[in-house]
Amino acid sequence: MQSAPHQALLDAGWSTAWKPAPARAGATGAERIRALAAGGYAALPIPAEFGGGGASLAEVAAAQRMLGMADPSAAIALNMHAFTVGLMADYWQRHRDTSWMLLEAIADSGALVASAFAEPGGSPNFMSSRSEAVPTAKGYRVTGVKYPCSLATTATLVCLTARVTGTDETLLALCPRTSPGLTAEGEWPSLGMTASDTARLVLRDVEVDDRLVFHRGPADVIDDNVVSGMVWFAVLLTATYHGVLSALLDTAYRQVTDAGTYGPRTALLGRATRELLTLGGACRQLAADVGSGAVGGQPALAAAVGLRASLSDTRDRVLTAVTPVIGGRLYGRGQQAAGLLVDSLAVHHHPPSLLVCDEVVGSYGTGRAISFDPAAG
């Protein structure tokens, strides 16, 4: 079936090779997430030599966009998996170490990986971890709280950060979700993305095997791992919400074309469309530039946080344009447009904060040291 003109335009430049299977009627959010993982999504970013899909950052982003259009809650949850596994794959590409075994195990089992980075209170410096890792004979004993954490019950593995006791180092490690002392408690009382399996993860003296630690380095230092993580996160997050906003714009277009009520609505639809075209182009370009090596290091970091901030700005401009077009359906209970409106609002609450994003870009541009701590001055 040929796409409507507006959909073909919004899809232009994005790979449509991967499409999510239709959700089973009545399936819960956790069931939909598990089904998507079992269908090969879990292994998309893993190199083909380890049994994965071998997808590039741009290709994973395109898959996230498709999922964002079809199922925002599953998309935001699986975005964290794709970001974490993509970071691990990039880490292996740079270091060629034994982390390939972790990637192979994830691909073989179709395991989902939760990103346990965020902590209660929303620390302004997202690189800072309050969780504590005490060295043991076989690895570390970790205590802390991670919240909000998507895939809280559906994940097989948890990727966590913690400061190593008695040092200035932070570790990045995988931990089996069923480890003794690791529990999911309560639900995330959000307005949107309610089926993302997001909750509070509590770690009480959880034993982490040293073989599952794939990075350890000075805390609060911006290294290649931080740059890679921010690029993957910003690109995939942007693609995910580009899908959510594309779905919202689709409802607006169909409402106008089905009723034949054009007039000034046509210009408003055009305004929202060009906003998404510009955002999508920036997202794909950053993915391509980093993948080719044209951009790297701190310039890549500044571009990534700039993209993340622009995503929030674009979301607000798109909503401003489509609100007069969609009208009361944006606020009606049970309306698809209303659900997408609320889901899209979550974009403002992902790290780094918008002030920090602009501070990072400005600091790089003026030759000052980049910091994610707003108190650093």
Q: Give the pLDDT score at 160.
A: 93
The model's confidence at residue 3, banded by pLDDT at 50, 70 and 90, is confident
pLDDT at 371 over 90: no
Average pLDDT over residues 137-157: 95
* Number of neighbouring beta carbons within 10 Å of residue 39: 12
Handedness of CA 76, 282, 128, 298 (dihedral sign): positive
Pairing of strands 169-176, 199-209: unpaired
Alpha helices in 212-365 (DSSP H): 224-259, 264-292, 297-326, 336-345, 354-365
Residues belonging to the chain: 377
Q: Give the pLDDT score at 126.
A: 57
Write down the residue that tokens 């779905």 correspond to: 247
- Full DSSP string of 102-163: HHHHHHHHT--EEEE---TT--SSTT----EEEE-SSEEEEEEEEEEETTTTT-SEEEEEEE
The model's confidence at residue 19, banded by pLDDT at 50, 70 and 90, is confident
pLDDT at 375 over 70: no
CA distance 173 to 140: 10
The reported pTM is 0.94
Beta bridge partners of 182: 203
pLDDT tens for each residue of 271-319: 999 999 999 999 999 999 999 999 999 999 999 999 999 999 999 999 9
DSSP 18: -
Q: Give the pLDDT score at 121.
A: 67
pLDDT tens for each residue of 83-132: 999 999 998 999 898 889 989 999 998 899 999 988 886 554 556 688 99
3-state secondary structure of 222: coil
Residue 115 and residue 83 in contact, taking contact as beta carbons nearer than 8 Å: yes
Q: Give the pLDDT score at 22.
A: 83
pLDDT tens for each residue of 238-256: 999 999 999 999 999 999 9
pLDDT at 78 over 90: yes
The model's confidence at residue 141, banded by pLDDT at 50, 70 and 90, is very high
* Number of neighbouring beta carbons within 10 Å of residue 362: 12
Q: Give the pLDDT score at 1.
A: 61
Q: Give the pLDDT score at 20.
A: 86
Residue 56 and residue 71 in contact, taking contact as beta carbons nearer than 8 Å: no
Q: Shortest CA distance to 233 belongs to which of 104, 360, 60, 70?
A: 60
Q: Give the pLDDT score at 50.
A: 96
Q: Give the pLDDT score at 317.
A: 98
Q: Give the pLDDT score at 125.
A: 52
DSSP 199: E
pLDDT at 76 over 60: yes
Beta bridge partners of 75: none
CA distance 213 to 225: 14
pLDDT tens for each residue of 27-45: 888 899 999 888 888 899 9
Cα 241–192–248 angle (5° rounding)? 45
Write down the residue that tokens 């794709």 correspond to: 82
Strands (E), 260-328: none
CA atoms within 13 A on the CB side of 351: 20
Q: Shortest CA distance to 127 belongs to which of 43, 201, 215?
A: 215
The model's confidence at residue 222, banded by pLDDT at 50, 70 and 90, is confident
Q: Give the pLDDT score at 191.
A: 85
| Mean pLDDT value across the chain | 92
Average pLDDT over residues 179-190: 91
pLDDT at 5 over 70: yes
Question: In the chain, what percentage of residues exceed pLDDT 90?
Answer: 71
Q: Give the pLDDT score at 21.
A: 84
Residue 204 and residue 143 in contact, taking contact as beta carbons nearer than 8 Å: yes
pLDDT tens for each residue of 331-370: 888 899 999 999 999 999 898 888 899 999 999 999 998 8
Q: Give the pLDDT score at 198.
A: 92
Omega cis (within 30) before 72: no
More confident residue, 188 or 339: 339
